[in-house]
Structure 1
Amino acid sequence: SAPDSRLYYVVEENDLVKLQGLIDEGRNLDEFYFDDQNISTKSLLHVACEKGRYDCVKLLIDNKASPFVRDKWGQSPLMYSVASRHADVAELLLQKNCDIIDDSDSHGKSALHSAAEIGYVEGIRVLLKYGANVNRQMMCERDLENCIETVHMLIEGGADLNIRDRRCKRTALQNAAIRRNIKVVEMLLEGETSLIFCVVEMLLEGATCGRTALTNMMTEWVKNVQGVPFIPDDVMTIIVMMVQAGVDLNLNICEYCNPMLTAANLKAEPLLRLFQANGADANLTSVMGVSSLLISTSKNDILSLKTLLEWNVHTDIPGLIYKRREDKEYTVDPFELAIMEGHFDIAKILISAGYKKYHKPYLFEQARLPKMLQQNPEMFHWLLSKASCPDTLFNLVIFSCRTLLGRNVKSAVKKLPIPARIRGRIALAELLDINDA
């Protein structure tokens, strides 16, 4: 039978007398109403909650209207009251039956999701008061970072900051960072310091590909335009905030979660410098042995390469390189890769920075000459000349000093009681374009 439109209109008009009369006649209080396009179907209680008819809702509930009823999309009357910003109605429903608080719609969202998405603080307050589960992926929803007070309330309510959203498998910090929302990032970092370290358990599935909040944001926003790194100011601010909060710069579960490897892939020299200054190990490799220096070499990124060498990175760490066109894998160190790719300026810099394994068999006709050297006789003869002459004693001492001084050569060398010219040589100031060594 067709629904009784009189019930609908008395609720819309908030006419309690007529509503009570219809109830006394035994009308069905759980009837559904359909719109013209059949997009939405809702019960009488949905209508009353959506319109904020507090007294009508009370009357309907007192007369056994079901609070568990669902519309076409699985949404409850409680969700309607919250989405329409009627906190008093939501509280009335919860006073009558608290079991409805965490019910989900067909998309898995609860009433607290609805309140959080629109930043309805009073609704969140009521729902938390009655025990809403704040860890049902609340802190991960994409629109959440638009409401500072909402974030604050959910943190105060005990939200697990490491829960991931359903769509992109991202944490709240990842979403806030990608949206470049400095205030929310700051709140999340302050809300739970251990969050940063929990993120190391990291998202090894889904769209995040193992990226952390830091590397995800870097991948999204850090660019290299015609050889010049471009990092928006707000992005750099968030990166610095994360570093200062104690993000693990040596996280190495996979290549995509390591900040140094990500920065090298993005040719972001300022970030390589920042991370190393804050404890990142430039010699750390991926599970395939790929290092920051190997990546910078493959990209012919001389600026990043010099910064890595400034921090005394090892020049001979081999890693696995896959050549898609040849469908072959090679295990090579940065120098060997530079020769293979024809990046001869990098090869010369590596030798000048202390790479010692350049006495290759192919220079003395004991192996096949690499293709790029066949095409560049000048580089071949330069290498042959270097390999044919022993290194000077002075250079051997210089490189020994660099080994003893450790990572931060530029800082350590300033403390040595030796002439400035010698300090500059140890720091490789001329080679690496260092002005204050």
Structure 2
Amino acid sequence: MTTQELLQGAKAAKSAAAALSTQEKNRLLLAMADSLVQHQADILAANDQDVEAARATIAPVMIDRLRLTGDRVAAMAQGLRAVADLPDPVGDVLSEITRPNGLVIRKVRVPMGVIAIIYESRPNVTADAAALALKSGNVCVLRGGKEAIHSNTAIVAALRAALRENGAPETLVNLVEDTTRASATQLMEARGLVDLLIPRGGAGLIRACVENAKVPCIETGTGICHVYVDRAADLDKAVAIVYNAKTSRPSVCNAEEVCLVHRDVAPVFLPRLKQALDEKHVELRLCPEAAAIIPGTPAGERDFDTEFLDYILAVKVVGSVEEAVAHIAAHSTGHSEAIVTQDRAAADAFCAGVDSAAVYVNASTRFTDGGEFGLGCEMGISTQKLGARGPMGLCELTSYKYIIEGDGQVR
């Protein structure tokens, strides 16, 4: 099937998706979750093909983004069940007013329609996106990367089997088979067929979509995430937070890429941090002041503007909360930033001054995630300000319309 034919089929399914009741959507989601578990062997076999083919072309740390295990398939299924448990946003009345002339005006949540998602590497996105689109009354068009095509095909086959067996159109969930650049361009230019485009991947993919899309597009985040260790930090907490934010899964967008350290605690904190990070063989890219305290690699011109997605951490010593905030303003991608401090005034100044989608006090940036935020799972993490911002769950996949009731009023 061509991409154009697939889009036409998706558009034709819009009314069916919008007409599903909450009970029907939840029943389908639970069936889709069960189908993933039932087809686990097929999904893992397909994933093995992708992983083996990718070994020669992508870094080992990126293999982790691609690899599926039994536990990860189970987690995908649990994500669908969690979405089924969430309140249905469709039909929510956001506001209601009665005008002096008697007109009752209601602002009501409605589905977007056809949501296209272009993403890379992580096949769990396939299930997450399908679940969120279905629960929010939308049709999804999934276009993964070539490195995960076998995995994505197997996952979508399992999801569509559940739809088919439960009397729902298979075209509620669609996978673009063409993984060339041409199919991505078709989605970007599909006016009248795609109601919302969400890119989810590296900086190059996101930039291409934002700059070239002729359909509405959400800018999701590359993550140059910062942790600032304040002069009033609990250093035990600071070491644990930085260690987690950098090493728990360095290939994801909410991983820390830059550590800022107050000058007053740097001589004590940095040796302790290096000792902890040495366990994971983290390469430290150091500003001159940090390099005078601990050994590492001198930071290059672009090291504070790079999403490493690897066991690499840029480190800079600063003199104040204000200097940390200024550095973040100059180098952040607006994703997630954290301060570690016992000083409430410092925390408040940081939260007020940092203009990112998620700002943490004494916690790891790794929590910027739809599941961790109670959204079930996420469609992506938006770093823009207009419309969705931060992890995108069900509400972020809806629009609204006005419904006006009268009794013969004319103007």
Q: TM-score, normalising length from structure 1?
A: 0.21
More helix by share: 1
Bigger RCO (CA 8 Å, 6+ sep): 2
